[in-house]
């Protein structure tokens, strides 16, 4: 039997963390397929810009939600209060997330740990809990979670961020098992290094330190990751992509990179 790819025209796609980086690029990718986009993040002015770009790129409609995924009551209330024409979410992209600091575990900041765990683990759970029952009731849906190479292999000074992505892996696998017997699909997209606002946020606006992360190699772009998310979402309805791992060619895993030395400049030669 010939299987047909999932069409996204008119489908409601809810993306958390859509104000920047991978979330914004994913919004644009789904927009070009004619989806209806529900975009959430804390910075509403950035969301408004992404919303306008999505409409220009072909989104059927866009609705924005100023939302902090760390607040359970706010997440539940926002999903509950969605206008009826936005309530039947078809695809949830659990993308909102961040890292803070790069410190030895025994000297790390408890506040940083809490922010990462509250956002990357608890926030993902709160949104999932609010959205998935409706998918089960309607007999259709797809949850796409953002994991990371960091969840597969812990790197030094990043134990807590890596732990949040290891938790995402467990949640992704558990949810897929718990949804067995329903047509709802569950996917984890696990990128390696992607140049977004991620490192700016990790190093609290220290541009020089953030730029060093990507020095000497070509990182993934947010659009590369959006491509993988869109691919997973458009597989035929009977196909579940459990996880996708994508890295720059110059990255083997979360510990091993190949960096080209900086090009010699005339000023540096003797």
Closer CB to ligand NDP, residue 140 or residue 166? 166
For residue 61, give the 3-state DSSP assignment: strand
Q: Does residue 106 carry a catalytic annotation?
A: no
Does 41 contact ligand NDP by CB under 6 A?
yes
Using CB under 6 A, which of 11, 36, 70, 100 touches ligand NDP?
Answer: 70
Residue holding tokens 């509250």? Answer: 118
Does 119 contact ligand 8X3 by CB under 6 A?
no
Closer CB to ligand 8X3, residue 60 or residue 195? 195
The listed partner (ligand 8X3, ligand NDP, none) that binds 254, CB under 5 to 8 Å by sort, is ligand 8X3
- The C-alpha angle with vertex 61 and arms to 241 and 16, in degrees rounded to 5, equals 50
Closer CB to ligand NDP, residue 119 or residue 172? 119
Contact present, 40 and 18 (Cβ < 8 Å): yes
* Beta partners for residue 145, in sequence order: 94, 188
# residues near ligand NDP by CB under 6 A? 32
Q: What are the backbone dihedrals phi and psi of residue 30, each rounded to the nearest 5 degrees, phi first? A: -70, -30
**Distinct helix (H) and strand (E) counts, the chain:** 10, 7
Closer CB to ligand NDP, residue 86 or residue 136? 86
Contact present, 118 and 70 (Cβ < 8 Å): yes
Does 188 contact ligand 8X3 by CB under 6 A?
no
The listed partner (ligand NDP, ligand 8X3, none) that binds 247, CB under 5 to 8 Å by sort, is none
**Least Å from the CB of residue 114 to ligand NDP:** 12
Contact present, 27 and 15 (Cβ < 8 Å): yes
Contact present, 47 and 39 (Cβ < 8 Å): yes
Could you tell me the two tokens for 39? 């975009």
Neighbours of 114 (CB within 10 A): 14
What part of residues 186-205 is at the interface with ligand NDP (CB under 6 A)?
191, 193-194, 196-198, 201
Binding characters for ligand 8X3, 135-174, by CB under 6 A (x = yes): -------------xxx-------x----------------
DSSP state of 63: E
Strand ranges in 122-213 using DSSP code E only, listed in sequence order: 142-146, 185-191
Using CB under 6 A, which of 69, 193, 232, 241 touches ligand 8X3?
Answer: 193
* Beta partners for residue 148, in sequence order: none
Site residues for ligand 8X3 per CB under 6 A: 148-150, 158, 193, 254
Catalytic residues: 161
Positions in the binding site for ligand NDP (CB under 6 A):
16-23, 41-43, 46, 67-70, 95-98, 119, 123, 146, 148, 191, 193-194, 196-198, 201, 222
């Amino acid at each position: 039997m010939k299987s047909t790819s999932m069409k996204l025209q008119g489908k409601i796609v809810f993306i958390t963390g859509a104000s920047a980086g991978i979330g914004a690029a994913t919004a644009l990718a789904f927009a070009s397929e004619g989806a209806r986009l529900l975009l959430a993040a804390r910075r509403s002015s950035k969301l408004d810009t992404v919303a306008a770009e999505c409409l220009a790129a072909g989104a059927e409609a866009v609705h924005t939600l100023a939302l902090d995924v760390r607040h359970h009551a706010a997440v539940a209330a926002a999903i509950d209060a969605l206008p009826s024409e936005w309530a039947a979410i078809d695809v949830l992209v659990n993308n909102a997330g961040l890292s803070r600091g790069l410190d030895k575990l025994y000297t790390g900041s408890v506040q940083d740990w809490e922010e990462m765990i509250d956002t990357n683990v608890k926030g993902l759970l709160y949104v999932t809990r609010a959205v998935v029952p409706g998918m089960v009731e309607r007999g259709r849906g797809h949850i796409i979670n953002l994991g990371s190479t960091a969840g597969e292999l812990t790197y030094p000074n990043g134990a807590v961020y890596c732990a949040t992505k290891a938790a995402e892996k467990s949640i992704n696998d558990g949810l897929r098992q718990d949804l067995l017997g329903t047509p709802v699909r569950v996917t984890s997209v696990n990128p390696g290094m992607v140049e977004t606002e991620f490192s700016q946020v990790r190093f609290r606006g220290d541009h020089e330190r953030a730029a060093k992360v990507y020095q000497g190699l070509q990182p993934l772009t947010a659009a590369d990751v959006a491509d993988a998310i869109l691919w997973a979402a458009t597989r035929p309805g009977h196909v579940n992509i459990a996880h996708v791992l994508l890295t720059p060619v110059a990255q083997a895993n979360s510990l091993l990179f190949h960096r080209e030395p900086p090009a010699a400049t005339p000023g540096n030669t003797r």
